[in-house]
């Protein structure tokens, strides 16, 4: 829930962070704010500010750090109410996981923090609050979250309707990073990321700092096929949105930034083709058909009215649109899900009801995404770019998103109900 810069960027920053920033003076143990009678001291705030500044977190000022400490007190309060405590083993695992994001072990990570004046306890407190909060969320929030099939269909439909990127318009900025100056180059790149709000901002930075011929043109590159980019770079570019600058990338002798100006793409196969699920109910008269249609809200209701009738009198089919007889396809074309129409064919009458209309791609979506397989010792093949994510994968993604949203709502509720006062 807390955004931080990870990996090489964090490690480079820690290596350059030996000088502690100047912080507020005064009694270090003076309470600044009480949260349900639990005090946040000046010392804790100074430590948290320094810690977040070392991590190059976007919310590293005193106001944001104080709010984060208040939220941690609320997390601990909620855990105490539920009888949840963190064991030493759980905290140690959390410390190791966090330090591992900088490719360090906990001892190495805390040693780097100590060089910049951040004590191990500040790191431990930061992790401990997250450990107990995860258990609070697991007990209180997770059981209340549900994901429906309709939500999965809606999310998959968004994927289907989003064009697959085939070409990208990028701007580049390359900062030289000769031996011994890697951390300074990374810090400069991070300042550029923080200061970029538009293509104009990025172009100005490129003209000032980029060491490539494109700098004269604000770093602008021509439209480029996505397939022409290095395979390692493609997923990074695909994770960006037009108008966004990516995180700094470390390459040999340089730090690279990309700004995504625009994309071009095509729809995946089956995105526009439709599959229709519908019921055909033959009846003796138009009047009877209209009566049944008036009291039937779903396709299942029609089968209730068909009880006792020959099975061939009512059928339900799921067919690609092109395989439905033209006369029926025309009438189904104007219907929404669970709408019906009465069709008279000379002496015969049919009640047609559309149960569900969906894209062919959605109808063919697998329950789980296929896993590429290969013979032992051979390189793992790349995933099929045409393949949709599996329904179960999408369900898990929606579930995790809803859990995160519900957890933030619960934290906001704790905040509104807490007694937060200043001495």
310 and 415 both lie in a single domain: no
The reply to whether 5 falls in a domain is no
The answer to whether 109 touches 116, Cβ cutoff 8 Å, is: no
Percent of the chain with pLDDT over 70: 89
The answer to whether 372 touches 382, Cβ cutoff 8 Å, is: yes
57 and 152 both lie in a single domain: yes
50 and 116 both lie in a single domain: yes
The reply to whether 13 falls in a domain is no
Provide the sign of the torsion angle of the four alpha carbons 11, 13, 16, 18, taken in this order.
negative
The reply to whether 11 falls in a domain is no
Lowest mean pLDDT among 47-61, 86-100, 192-206, 296-310: 47-61
129 and 32 both lie in a single domain: yes
318 and 204 both lie in a single domain: no
The reply to whether 384 falls in a domain is no
pLDDT tens per residue across span 161-219: 888 899 999 999 999 999 989 889 999 999 999 999 999 999 999 999 999 999 999 99
pLDDT of residue 387: 72
The answer, yes or no, to whether residue 246 has pLDDT greater than 70, is yes
**What's the CA gap between 270 and 94, in Å, rounded?**
45
The answer, yes or no, to whether residue 71 has pLDDT greater than 70, is yes
Split into its structural domains, the chain has a count of 3
- Domain of 141, CATH number, reads 1.10.4030.10
The reply to whether 15 falls in a domain is no
217 and 256 both lie in a single domain: yes
Lowest mean pLDDT among 81-90, 154-163, 291-300: 154-163
CB neighbourhood size of 386 (10 A): 10
pLDDT of residue 374: 55
Lowest mean pLDDT among 14-23, 200-209, 226-235: 14-23
Please give the sequence-ordered ranges of beta strands (E in DSSP) within 202-347, or none if there are none.
224-225, 244-245, 249-251, 254-266, 274-283, 314-320, 339-345
74 and 150 both lie in a single domain: yes
The reply to whether 181 falls in a domain is yes
Domain boundary among 231, 266, 301: 266
Report the mean per-residue pLDDT for the chain: 88
* Element of type H or E holding 168: strand 164-176
The DSSP 8-state label assigned to residue 217 in this structure reads: G
The β-bridge relationship of strands 348-359 and 420-421 is: unpaired
Residue 100 domain boundaries: 27-162+390-422
- Domain of 169, CATH number, reads 3.10.50.40
What phi-psi label fits residue 397: left (phi over 0), alpha (psi between -120 and 50 degrees) or beta? alpha
54 and 114 both lie in a single domain: yes
145 and 245 both lie in a single domain: no
101 and 174 both lie in a single domain: no
The reply to whether 2 falls in a domain is no
207 and 254 both lie in a single domain: yes
Buried b (16+ CB within 10 A) or exposed e, 76-85: bbbbeeeebe
153 and 183 both lie in a single domain: no
The reply to whether 19 falls in a domain is no
Domain boundary among 233, 266, 299: 266
Domain boundary among 239, 266, 293: 266
pLDDT of residue 202: 97
Buried b (16+ CB within 10 A) or exposed e, 265-292: eeebebbeebbbbbbbbbbeeeeebeeb
pLDDT of residue 366: 80
């Amino acid at each position: 829930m807390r955004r931080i810069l990870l990996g090489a960027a964090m490690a480079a920053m820690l290596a350059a962070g030996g000088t502690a920033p100047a912080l507020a003076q005064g009694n270090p143990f003076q309470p600044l704010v009480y949260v349900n009678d639990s005090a946040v001291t000046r010392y804790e705030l100074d430590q948290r500010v320094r810690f977040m500044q070392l991590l190059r977190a976007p919310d590293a000022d005193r106001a944001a750090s104080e709010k984060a400490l208040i939220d941690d007190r609320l997390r601990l309060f909620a855990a105490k109410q539920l009888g949840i405590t963190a064991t030493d083993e759980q905290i140690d695992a959390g410390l190791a996981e966090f330090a591992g994001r900088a490719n360090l072990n906990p001892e190495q990570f805390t040693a780097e923090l100590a060089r910049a004046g951040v004590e191990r306890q500040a790191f431990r407190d930061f992790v401990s609050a997250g450990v107990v909060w995860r258990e609070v969320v697991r007990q209180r929030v997770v059981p209340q979250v549900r994901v429906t099939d309709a939500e999965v269909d809606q999310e998959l439909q968004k994927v289907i309707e989003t064009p697959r990127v085939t070409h990208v318009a990028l701007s580049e900025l390359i900062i030289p990073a000769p031996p011994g100056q890697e951390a300074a180059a990374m810090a400069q790149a991070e300042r550029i990321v923080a200061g970029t709000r538009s293509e104009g901002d990025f172009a100005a930075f490129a003209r000032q700092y980029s060491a490539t011929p494109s700098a004269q043109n604000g770093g602008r590159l021509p439209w480029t096929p996505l397939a022409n980019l290095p395979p390692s770079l493609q997923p990074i570019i695909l994770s960006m949105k037009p108008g966004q600058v990516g995180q700094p990338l470390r390459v040999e002798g340089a730090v690279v930034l990309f700004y995504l100006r625009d994309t071009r793409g095509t729809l995946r196969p089956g995105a526009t083709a439709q599959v229709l699920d519908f019921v055909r109910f033959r009846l003796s008269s138009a009047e009877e058909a209209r009566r049944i249609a008036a009291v039937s809200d779903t396709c299942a209701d029609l089968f209730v009215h068909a009880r006792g009738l020959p099975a061939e009198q009512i059928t339900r089919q799921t067919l690609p649109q092109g395989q439905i007889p033209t006369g029926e396809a025309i009438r189904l074309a104007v219907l929404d899900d669970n709408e019906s129409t009465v069709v008279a064919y000379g002496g015969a009458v049919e009640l047609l009801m559309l149960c569900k209309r969906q894209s062919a791609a959605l109808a063919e979506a697998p329950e789980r995404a296929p896993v590429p397989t290969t013979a032992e010792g051979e390189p793992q093949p790349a995933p099929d770019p045409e393949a949709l994510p599996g329904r179960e994968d999408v369900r898990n993604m929606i579930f995790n998103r809803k859990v995160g949203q519900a957890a933030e709502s619960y934290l906001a509720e704790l905040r509104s109900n807490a007694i937060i006062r200043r001495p």
